[in-house]
């Protein structure tokens, strides 16, 4: 479902070395974390093989939420600040990761260990190094692939994304003769350099810089042909999008999870809404109305041409 939804929410994705999306496991994607669980949905959608992700443990406290997250291939990782009594769960999560790696699976870990909507790389925590070194110690030929994710906006509908892959880190890059702390440090230094090269560094107030880097340019003809479909798309989707946006804005106060929550709700509700548009169109105008409802996603693509692209 996410593969079908992504073109409706993302205007453009520029991927350096897209052939890496076809890679098999065992593979650990070591990523920056600018946009909450939308980062996980994005990577799981883009890679050909299923991708599991590690997420903050406190989001799993509700058993129903935990079931939903697990169905989305997301596993919990607890920090000390989320309760030392929960840290034992990390051992189970790491064992699950080892099992996935033995089955040539792919796992995403967010090396900053915190989601903040910004255009810079924050200091890395030790979790990625621990998981990678534990996997290598178990004799598993893991590759660690640095992934830098860059968004044009965190509050606007329609994203322009730039994804850059760094140099692969393998067990031979680690000084095994050194103490554990030195091994973790060597791993993080290599990962930091790789992610730093791929994460676009911009000040929050630098609107001109974001526009220069992320803006997708359209020719006059594209604006001409898309004008009417875009207007239809705005009318058709206003009743779905704006109530969701307002509700999430009120409840989240535009925090760092706002964008992902809006995207998640749209992902869940759009199939129902789309079915309703087709049914309503058929009831009102017969076959032509049903065809109009069926074409609703195409009007969204036209609307993306007209919407502002950066914060």
Q: How far is Cα 19 from Cα 86, in angstroms, rounded to an integer? A: 39
Neighbours of 171 (CB within 10 A): 17
Q: What is the pLDDT of residue 111?
A: 95
Q: What is the pLDDT of residue 181?
A: 93
Q: Where are the domains of the chain?
A: 2-207, 217-306
Q: Which among 100, 132, 72 is positioned nearest to 260, based on CA atoms?
A: 72
Q: What residues of the chain score a pLDDT lower than 70? A: 1, 65, 79-87
Q: What is the pLDDT of residue 91?
A: 83
What's the fold here for domain 2-207? Answer: Glycerol-3-phosphate (1)-acyltransferase (3.40.1130)
Q: What is the pLDDT of residue 3?
A: 81
Q: What is the pLDDT of residue 170?
A: 96
**Structure-derived torsion over alpha carbons of residues 84, 86, 92, 95, reported in degrees to the nearest 10:** -30
DSSP 202: B
| Long-range contacts, 195-198 (Cβ 8 Å, 24+) | 195/30, 195/31, 195/32, 195/111, 195/121, 195/124, 195/146, 195/148, 195/166, 196/121, 197/148, 197/164, 197/166, 198/16, 198/146, 198/147, 198/148, 198/150, 198/164, 198/165, 198/166
Q: What is the pLDDT of residue 161?
A: 97
CA distances to 113, 120, 190, 244, 279 from 124, rounded to whole Å, are: 7, 12, 11, 34, 50
Q: Tell me, yes or no, if the pTM score tops 0.75.
A: yes
Q: What is the pLDDT of residue 90?
A: 77
Residue with tokens 């440090």: 185
């Amino acid at each position: 479902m996410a593969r079908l939804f992504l073109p409706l929410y993302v205007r453009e994705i520029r991927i350096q070395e897209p052939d890496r999306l076809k890679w098999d496991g065992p593979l650990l994607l070591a990523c920056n974390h600018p946009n909450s669980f939308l980062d996980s949905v994005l990577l799981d959608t883009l890679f050909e093989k299923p991708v599991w992700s590690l997420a903050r443990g406190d989001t799993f406290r509700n058993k129903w939420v935990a079931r939903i997250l697990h169905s989305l291939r997301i596993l919990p990782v607890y920090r000390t600040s989320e309760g030392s009594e929960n840290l034992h769960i990390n051992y189970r999560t790491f064992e699950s990761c080892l099992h996935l790696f033995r089955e040539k699976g792919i796992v995403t870990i967010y090396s900053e260990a915190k989601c903040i909507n910004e255009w810079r790389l924050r200091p890395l925590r030790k979790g990625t190094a621990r998981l990678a070194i534990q996997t290598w110690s178990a004799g598993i030929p893991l590759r660690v692939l640095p992934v830098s994710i860059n968004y044009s906006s965190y509050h606007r509908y329609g994203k322009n994304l730039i994804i850059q892959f760094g140099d692969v880190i393998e067990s031979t890059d680690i000084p095994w003769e050194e103490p554990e702390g030195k091994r973790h440090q060597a791993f993080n230094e290599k990962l930091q350099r790789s992610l730093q090269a791929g994460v676009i560094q911009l000040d929050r107030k630098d609107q001109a810089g974001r526009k220069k880097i992320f803006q997708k340019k359209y020719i006059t003809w594209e604006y001409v042909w898309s004008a009417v479909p875009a207007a239809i798309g705005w009318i058709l989707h206003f009743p779905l999008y704006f109530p969701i946006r307002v509700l999430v804005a009120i409840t989240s106060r535009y925090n760092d999870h706002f964008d992902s929550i809006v995207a998640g709700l749209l992902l869940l509700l759009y199939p129902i809404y789309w079915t309703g548009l087709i049914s309503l169109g058929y009831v009102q105008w017969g076959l032509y109305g049903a065809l109009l409802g069926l074409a609703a996603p195409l009007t969204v693509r036209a609307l993306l041409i007209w919407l502002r692209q950066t914060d």
